[in-house]
Amino acid sequence: MDEFSFINSIKQHSYKQSSLIKGIGDDAAVIRQPTQDIVCAVDTLVEGVHFSRQTMEPWHIGYRALAANVSDLAAMGASPAFYLVSIVIPKTWSSGEINQIYVGMKQLATKFRMDLIGGDTVSGQELSVSITVIGYVERNKARYRSLAKEGDKVFVTGTLGDSQAGFHILTNPGYYTDEVYYKERHQQPLPRVDFASKTENISRIVFNDISDGIANEANEIAEASKVSLILYEKQLPIKDSYEQFPPKLQHKWKLFGGEDFELLGTVSNKDWNELQIIAKETNTPLKEIGYVDDSQSNIGQVFLHENKQTYRLQKKGYTHLK
């Protein structure tokens, strides 16, 4: 059973709590309160699966674990406020190293004025860090991936593939241009909280954070919104020095690499100008990379224009169309 089928099998078909606005099915859940909505999400990193000590200092593990969670809040348009940390600690980790994990989290938390308000520490065979984040968003301003509409522009923030490039450099030492930049993008990604939360005056905008790769996230938007997304390969934003890596890897990383924690989204043409202004104000690179279509036969699908051909871009990998 894949994760998607599994989530569907455990998902409730109806909810009992009247204050719940959004349950399972987006980057985070949304709970209604009288003056604002509360957003919360949980994410777990396991040693050997999501990180290794070969490429991450304990400090980075903490920083990045919290960043992944905060990025989920950014994708909802929410401002982070609190976090709770549950950590499974094997005997092979010293208390000093574990402490550094918390110091890394705190570094990121401080940027966003987040408070550590709870947690649990237990012993086990492999290190795993599970973080719950709680944030606030204006009433009815949570950004759902189900709201993309025909004619919307598709956009992405920042540059793609950087995190995987950083991982490549860390595991294949050598001479690279912008080596420090790529390593930092892998070890210390900065979630796009400021950009996302400043869009509050735009009535409808869709965000999905890039944790599993743009191909995956674009498909999630297409499926949830019952539309199709058309993307242009040439438009996908990359850093200048990205071209130093083998072309096959470039292609793979920017489409399927993930962990860049940038935002993929859609917005109406009339709000595009406003969004560009917000991007400038928050120093956020913003690029138009395609559009939303609703031709009935392609609902829930994503297509990539590349070298004058069009491919169906699937969640993992892609297949030739015409």
Q: Which stretch binds a copy of itself (CB under 8 A): 11-19, 195-203, 219-227, 228-236?
A: 11-19
Q: Which stretch binds a copy of itself (CB under 8 A): 115-123, 173-181, 227-235, 308-316?
A: 115-123
Told to check if 50 binds a copy of itself by CB under 8 A, we report yes
3-state SS, residue 78: coil
Question: HEC states along 174-233?
Answer: CCCCCHHHHHHHHHCCCCCHHHHHCCCCCCCEEEEECCCCHHHHHHHHHHHHCCEEEEEH
For residue 27, give every residue at least 6 positions away whose Cβ sits within 8 Å of its Cβ, in sequence order, or none: 41, 72, 73, 75, 76, 145, 207, 208, 209
d(CA 12, CA 7): 10
Give the x-and-dash track for 13-42 against a copy of itself (CB under 8 A).
--xxx-xx--xx---xx-x-xxx--x-xxx
Told to check if 321 binds a copy of itself by CB under 8 A, we report no
Told to check if 116 binds a copy of itself by CB under 8 A, we report yes
3-state SS, residue 269: helix
Contact by Cβ (8 Å): 128, 88:
yes
d(CA 285, CA 48): 32
Nearer to a copy of itself, 126 or 281 (CB): 126
Residue 272 tokens read as 């595009």
Nearer to a copy of itself, 29 or 206 (CB): 29
Told to check if 117 binds a copy of itself by CB under 8 A, we report yes
Q: Which stretch binds a copy of itself (CB under 8 A): 78-86, 178-186, 239-247, 261-269?
A: 78-86
**60: annotated binding-site residue?**
no
Q: Which stretch binds a copy of itself (CB under 8 A): 93-101, 161-169, 291-299, 305-313?
A: 93-101
Q: If we measure between CA atoms, which residue out of 201, 210, 221 comes closest to residue 278?
A: 201
Told to check if 91 binds a copy of itself by CB under 8 A, we report no
According to DSSP H, which parts of the chain are helical? 3-10, 58-74, 95-111, 162-171, 179-187, 193-197, 214-225, 247-252, 272-281
CB of 123 to a copy of itself, least distance (A): 6
Residue from 88, 142, 264, 279 in contact with a copy of itself (CB under 8 A): 88
3-state SS, residue 240: helix
**27: annotated binding-site residue?**
yes
* Residues between 126 and 145 that touch a copy of itself (CB under 8 A): 126, 128, 130, 132, 134
For residue 219, give every residue at least 6 positions away whose Cβ sits within 8 Å of its Cβ, in sequence order, or none: 300, 301, 302, 313, 314, 315
Told to check if 219 binds a copy of itself by CB under 8 A, we report no
Told to check if 125 binds a copy of itself by CB under 8 A, we report yes
Which residues contribute to the annotated binding site for substrate? Answer: 50, 259, 318
Binding site for a copy of itself (CB under 8 A): 1, 3, 6-7, 9-12, 15-17, 19-20, 23-24, 28-29, 31, 33-35, 38, 40-46, 48-50, 81-82, 84-86, 88, 95, 98-99, 102, 113-126, 128, 130, 132, 134
